[in-house]
Every structure is written in structure tokens, then in C-alpha cells.
Amino acid sequence: MDYDHRELNRNMSIFATDPQVGSGLPMWLPSGAAIRHELECLARELAHADGCVSVYSPVLGKRSLYARSGHLSKFSEDMFPAMQLGDDDLMLRPANCPHHALIFAAENRSYRDLPIRLNELASMFRAERSGVVSGLNRVRQINLDDTHVFCRPDQVLGEVRQALRSALRAQQILGLPVDYVRLSKRDDSGQWLGSASQWADGEGDLRAAVAPVAEEHGIGVVEVAGEAAFYGPKLDIQSRTARGNEETIATVQLDFTQPERFDLKYKGQDGHFHRPVMIHRGTVGSMERVTAHLLEHYRGRLPFWLAPTQITLLPVDTEQDASVRTVADDAIASGLRVRIDHGGSLGSRIREARARRDHLIGVVGPNEDEANTVHITDVVAGVRLHIERSELLTLMHDAHRARWRAPNWPSSESNSIELIGSTE
């Protein structure tokens, strides 16, 4: 299956696993780290644009912290066992929200301060059974673009809509399709925290918030009972993967339970203390899951800005080594990811670059060296052309900065362009 990210990984070297580390604990190799770095930069930019502030918090917490948050009673089967250290029972966190609740509580808050949006690219841990972990889709350490908003009740609709628009913007930039938004509600199982009236109000708020955003983007809304988080209802952005599986790629969740459990409060305009509403929001999502989704959606041929190797440069023989090195140095100085391949025949080097899904293949032979050009093959755009080195660097820089699928190659009138088909 050429669209299984685990198979693509054989040639692309995105991640590695080792039994000495353990199942469900992939190690990001340089190519995978390049993808993840770009995703993290996108997540930070979108969070900053929405007025989020960055925080950092430890991956451990006392057992009592998760008892207070409700995770221990509702989520214990998915948590790693406690570690005894002196008088403390420490646990790897299953979620970031308890730490963020305590960060909010660390200072006195006024109604004028709200909303407060705390963002962290944070690691959390799930005790997945070894039989269900798989590639990057099901892992035991999840690295999540995670934001928690603390706001007044009158700010909830605006914050939910902002979070939804940001998440949909992220999927648009990534080029991932969105099928619909799911309003995930509780059912009658009794596993949920909070009162019936809180749930009814929360589901009503999400229903009112999602309607105009869904209409703007031309996507449907489906209500499903039993899919809520244990602490509140949520909106899940749903997408179908290349393998036909439906996955949640971003969420916006209401939480009226943890503000009560952690006694969070702010001083209102009336001089009295009030309880904030907590909103959990993800924009880009889990680094592992979105990387797997991207690899399978694009069959490994990622957009230029995400490609682990944006250009592979191939000198025809050693006489072009110096020219290739100059082009590579200029590209690296511009923040681009470059590979130079000297070994083997030109044909074998081209085949290897294609197998790795390197975005551009640039060949420099005697003619290109003399003319100060590079012969470029862009499989994603489906073109071949000769282009001056300075123009090539400018186009690559622009494509990277603007997060384009491929560089904006000049028209065939100004350059000799051969169409090769984007699936070559």
C-alpha cells in the first residue's frame, strides 16, 4: 500500500522504532524532525495570531493532581502507573490541562484580563497496549499543539468561533480535506462529570458557535452522542484519510468541570469572584497523527514548504562540485533544506531522490555550469526546466516562506519548460 505512512517511511526515513525504547515510542529522524519543525512553526504562528501566549509545564505531576482534575477516576486505564519518589507518587501526564489550570491560578485575575489563552507544544502520555500502537497514528507519547482559553461566559461563543476558524485555516494551509464538524455530546452512560444543566448549556453554546463558521466554510455539522470528553462537550473537525479511515484532526472543547475542581476564579466588574469557562482548543493537532495523515494524503510527495529535502543537487561529475556547493550554501543560508549527492551514476542518484520523495531534483552538468543555471525537475508541479541559479533561490525562498505546494515557476514563454506529469 503506497499510501501507508509506515511503508513510505522505508524510503523517506521519517521515524524509527526500537524494542529497547519500546512500542509506540517512535524516534523522529532528521527528515521527520524537519516536517515536525515546520508544523510546530505553523502552530505557533496561528496561536500568536489569535492572541495566545506561550507557556511551558512539566510532563510529570503528583497523583493528587490528576485525582483533582478527574483524570484518575475517568481516565486511569489510559495512564501510566505512578512512580514512587520519596513521599511523592508522580505520574506522566495524560493531558496538559491540569498544569494550565494551575498556571491560570498562579496569579490574581480580573475580568479585564480575560480571555487568557495559554498555548504549549506539549508532550502527554497514553498507556496504549502494545497490540494497538502503530506507526505515528497510535503512540504512547503524543506531542500536541494545545491551547487552553480561560474566559468569561459572555466570551464563549467568540472564542469557540475563533478557535474553529484557526483550526480550519490550519487544515487549509496543510491541504488536508475537512469532511464535517462533529458536535460530540454525552450519552446516558453516566460516565460524565458535571450537571445536566451544564451539559445542556455547553452543547447549546457549541451548537450556536459552530453554525456560522460551518456555513462560511461550506461544511456540515453532525451531532453524535457519546463522543464527548468526560468533562464537557466538544466540536471535532473530521477528515477521511487516504486509507478511508475517519479521524479527528482538531478539536474545540468546553470544560466547566476543571474550573470548579481547581477553584479557578476572576474578580468581576461587580467586585465579586466568578468562575471562568475553560476551552480546550487544538489547531494543527498532534504532531504524530498529522504527519501520518500528510504523508498518506500526499503519497509522500509533501508540499515544498514541508518536504524534508526541498532540493537535491546532483553534479554530473566532480568538475561541477564547486558550483553545486555554492548553490547549496546559498540555499541553506536562506533557510532551505538541501542535499548534495555525489555517489554513483546520475541515473541511480535520480532514482534514489525520487524514492525519498525529495521535492526538487537539480542537476548541474558542464552546460549548466557554464550558463550559471540548474536543470530542475519538480515532480509535484509536473515540470522540468532550466533556470538561473539566482532565480531558483528566489523562487524556493518565496515558496517556503508562503507555504506553497510548489515554487511558482515562470511561464513557458520565458523559460523552456517541459510538462512531465505530477505522478512521475
Kindly list the structural domains of the chain, giving each domain's residue range(s) and its CATH number in brackets, ordered by start: 5-297 (3.30.930.10), 311-419 (3.40.50.800)
With cut-offs at 50, 70 and 90, classify the pLDDT of residue 253. very high
Return the C-alpha cell found at 301: 510527495
Q: Are 106 and 265 in contact (CB under 8 A)?
A: no
pTM of the model: 0.93
C-alpha span between 422 and 128 (Å, rounded):
39
Return the C-alpha cell found at 33: 524532525
Longest dimension (CA), the chain: 79
Q: Compute the radius of gyration of the chain from its Cα atoms.
A: 25
Give the pLDDT confidence score for residue 60 in this predicted structure. Answer: 97
Per DSSP, the three-state class of 4 is coil
User: Is residue 198 over pLDDT 90?
Assistant: no
Q: What is the pLDDT of residues 4-20, one digit of tens each?
A: 999 999 999 999 999 99
C-alpha span between 257 and 277 (Å, rounded):
9
Give the pLDDT confidence score for residue 346 in this predicted structure. Answer: 94
Extract the runs of DSSP E, i.e. beta strands, from 70-219.
83-85, 88-92, 116-125, 141-151, 180-185
Give the pLDDT confidence score for residue 416 in this predicted structure. Answer: 61
C-alpha span between 139 and 237 (Å, rounded):
20
β-pairing, 180-185 with 311-315?
A: unpaired
User: Is residue 418 over pLDDT 70?
Assistant: no
Give the pLDDT confidence score for residue 423 in this predicted structure. Answer: 46
201-214 mean pLDDT: 94
C-alpha span between 387 and 412 (Å, rounded):
11
Per DSSP, the three-state class of 163 is helix
With cut-offs at 50, 70 and 90, classify the pLDDT of residue 420. low
Return the C-alpha cell found at 39: 508544523
High-pLDDT (> 90) share of the chain, %: 80
How far out from the chain centre does Cα 371 lie? 42
Q: What is the pLDDT of residues 388-407, one digit of tens each?
A: 999 999 999 999 999 999 99
> How many C-beta neighbours within 10 Å does residue 217 have?
15
Average pLDDT, the chain: 93
With cut-offs at 50, 70 and 90, classify the pLDDT of residue 414. low
With cut-offs at 50, 70 and 90, classify the pLDDT of residue 197. confident
Q: What is the pLDDT of residues 132-161, one digit of tens each?
A: 888 999 999 999 999 999 999 999 999 999
Return the C-alpha cell found at 64: 493528587
With cut-offs at 50, 70 and 90, classify the pLDDT of residue 419. low
